[in-house]
Amino acid sequence: MRQATYNSIKFPAARQLMNTSTAPQEMNASFAQNITNLLPTKGGTLAIRHGTLALGSPTGDGSILDIIPYVKSDGTSQLLVTTDNGKIKLYNEALNTFTDVRTGLDPAGYYFWDYHNEGGMPKLVIVNGVDPNMIWDGTSITTMAEYVTDTAASETWVSATQLSLNTGTLGATNYPNGRSVKVTFSTATHLNVSSLTRTGSTATLTSVAAHNLQTGDYVTIAGANQAEYNGTFQITVTSPTVFTYPVAGTPATPATGSLQLTFSGITRTTTVSSSAISGQVVTLTFAASILPAVSVTIVSVEYLATPEAFSYIFSGQGRLWAIPAGETHPTEFKDNSKRGYVYYTNDLNVINSWFSPVTMQMSFIDVSNTMNTVDEITAVSEYREFMVFLGRKHIQFWAGTDPSDSQTFGYANTFPVGLVHPKLMQRLPNELAFMTPYGLRTASLAVQSGVLEAGQDVGSAIDTTVIKEVESILDDATVYRSCRSFFYPKQGFYGFKFPKKTLVYQVREESRGWVEFTGDFKDCTAFVTDSSGSRLLMSFEQQIIRYADDPDSPTYSDRGQAIRWNWWTPWVGGQRRWANHAFEVIHNDSAQLDFEVLRLKNNSLGAVVSNTLSTSPVMGFWDEGFWDEALWDESDTVIPRIRDKFIAQTMSFVVRGETTVGPFEITSLTCYGQYER
């Protein structure tokens, strides 16, 4: 066959990748009808994606729902997993062990998490809409809670175990039996000191009367001629009249002078054993004697308050933002009275600061005031200078940094397209991408155009596919909870897992667009990039899995199972019929494997001709008996070529295969023949 006597039609590897929104007959050659398990390369080829490998051993109990990476303050990386039997486990990769760090959680919980820097220490906040909110510090999980100062009360000492508050009926709600409280008191009465001595670095004070102090209290000593004894110190009580405290230096012992002991703002913690209300006065009885036996001035009373079980958490602008409690459901609202609430922390970089010091209630903004229809906020994010509140039907942008100040923080705009699922959203460098009922959209288009649904966005090429997938998840609550999304910066792609399809968007300068991943990417339940950004982790049942794209030892199977790949070209044709003679598949240096080419013609899926082709190993420059023909080729790769004679108005090809080996990169498919004269 002499190629020079024929015309050619070239199907290049699709630079814009998959398109399901345009009719295949109208699609240009830079798109494809379908691309499965192939990714574009810098060289403009389509390469089989890498496979997966199991990471360590299974959990031993409970299928993994989520994988949560965390970096401790010392730089140590950790992995937490949530399971469907109500547990959170810590995975030690070095020892290949799982350890329970929280058990007894409600299986109905649907987990979200974010990282918040508090006092220079990174902490992980985990919520699930049902159980109390959790904080992981790298060692243990604690429950989110904070002491709230009762600013509405005027307090009065009653006895060593009682005080009264003039707060009205609010007090009965804030002080149920068993609630932890902090009481701060002071007294204008000075206790007389019998003696003050020193042994080494420890001072021992003996009072004339019982001091009623407790270990850990702070007291003020004054009047000693030796200045080292004077000051405010934390004490250790050894008897009703004696306590010790640390002293610097070597002052003379015993101390001399007019010694005075005062209580200055002593705070003690106990629990409420009972409360009684009479008119506007609530009397609290404590489980222990925390007050002096004589009357003192009560400075403040604080009660331990726990925020409701948030269903979503987000860290942005130095604060935490949260959505009210409730199970995540595809169509049912959690609580209509709070459908527009977004809670926020009052203090910057402080996790436990949800309750307003003025109202003693959780601080929130109500974005339903700017909704023109019934909606519910399901997620929170940020984009540039905006806080973004994503509802089922609308997405709102708010500007400012202090939500407690309506003069500097307020509503900016609403876009009439909603988020279909709080896990189908990804924050990218300089971008926010979220899945709407009509396809993937970005915050940049919304801000630039002012109309979210207008113009071509990153998801436009597969809107038809997304619409079908969205319909399927809204019909079934169990299916809805299986959705996930992920971003893998190492290879520049992010993905959205629906029940039937996992759609992956590749971000490269040379090629941007969509492909479909199957195999483990379709079956896995969790996806996350580890803390280093260099590993994509997934889970299947009880097993953590990693994407095996290591440069030194890449894998091209999903835990030993063949990867099925596919490239389906657009229909190509014109006014004149094409008389084909042969076609060839151009590929780069490749592992030895077989693949199939399906040829279709005349816009019909019925008449399919199948051909099997093989890649060949690169031939050596020399053979024992003759010059190697490959030496004179333009490349070292033997091109698979098939004689295929047919006449067609239009034609399309499907190049596909199953493999456990790689690499394999397709450059193009070229047909050789002549146009009808």
Is the per-residue pLDDT at 67 higher than 90?
A: yes
Is the per-residue pLDDT at 18 higher than 90?
A: no
Q: Which of 163, 236, 166 is nearest to 205 (CA)?
A: 236
Is the per-residue pLDDT at 270 higher than 70?
A: yes
Q: Average of pLDDT values for 33-58?
A: 93
Q: Which of 489, 111, 128, 482 is nearest to 309 (CA)?
A: 128
Residues 542-583: pLDDT tens digits? 999 999 999 888 999 999 999 999 999 999 987 889 999 999
Is the per-residue pLDDT at 192 higher than 60?
A: yes
Q: Which of 166, 156, 140, 172 is nearest to 303 (CA)?
A: 172
CATH architecture label of 3-36+46-51+563-675: Sandwich (2.60)
Q: Average of pLDDT values for 67-93?
A: 94
Residue 506 vs residue 90, higher pLDDT: 90
Question: Would you place residue 632 in the very low, low, confident or very high pLDDT band (cuts 50, 70, 90)?
Answer: very low
Q: β-strand 594-601 against 46-48: which pairing, if any?
A: unpaired
Question: Would you place residue 589 in the very low, low, confident or very high pLDDT band (cuts 50, 70, 90)?
Answer: confident
CA distances from 557 to 161, 315, 518, 519, 561 (A): 69, 37, 12, 9, 5
Question: Would you place residue 146 in the very low, low, confident or very high pLDDT band (cuts 50, 70, 90)?
Answer: very high
Question: Would you place residue 635 in the very low, low, confident or very high pLDDT band (cuts 50, 70, 90)?
Answer: very low
Is the per-residue pLDDT at 392 higher than 80?
A: yes
Is the per-residue pLDDT at 621 higher than 70?
A: no
Query: Any idea what DSSP says for residue 172?
Result: H
Residues 331-359: pLDDT tens digits? 888 777 888 999 999 999 999 999 999 88
Domain residues of the chain, as ranges?
A: 3-36+46-51+563-675, 147-305
CA distances from 349 to 315, 322, 644 (A): 9, 15, 68
Question: Would you place residue 320 in the very low, low, confident or very high pLDDT band (cuts 50, 70, 90)?
Answer: very high
Q: Which residues, at least 6 apart from 357, have a Cβ–Cβ distance to it below 8 Å?
A: 149, 151, 346
Is the per-residue pLDDT at 51 higher than 70?
A: yes
Q: What is the reported pTM?
A: 0.86
Distance between CA atoms of residues 546 and 519, nearest Å: 13
Residue 173 vs residue 90, higher pLDDT: 90
Is the per-residue pLDDT at 447 higher than 80?
A: no
Is the per-residue pLDDT at 187 higher than 70?
A: no
Distance between CA atoms of residues 611 and 594, nearest Å: 10
Within 419-464, strands assigned E span 425-428, 431-436, 439-442
Q: Which of 167, 173, 164 is nearest to 153 (CA)?
A: 167
- DSSP 3-state assignment of 529? strand
- In this structure, which topology does domain 147-305 adopt according to CATH? Elongation Factor Tu (Ef-tu); domain 3 (2.40.30)
Question: What amino acid occupies position 235?
Answer: I
Phi, psi of 336, deg, nearest 5? -60, -30
To the nearest whole number, what is the mean pLDDT of the chain? 88
Is the per-residue pLDDT at 292 higher than 90?
A: no
Q: Average of pLDDT values for 508-521?
A: 86
Which residues on adjacent β-strands are paired with residue 186? 297
Q: Average of pLDDT values for 422-449?
A: 84
Residues 212-246: pLDDT tens digits? 788 888 888 889 999 999 988 889 999 999 999 99
Size of the chain in residues: 677
Is the per-residue pLDDT at 608 higher than 90?
A: yes
Is the per-residue pLDDT at 634 higher than 70?
A: no
Q: Average of pLDDT values for 166-188?
A: 77
pLDDT at 657: 96
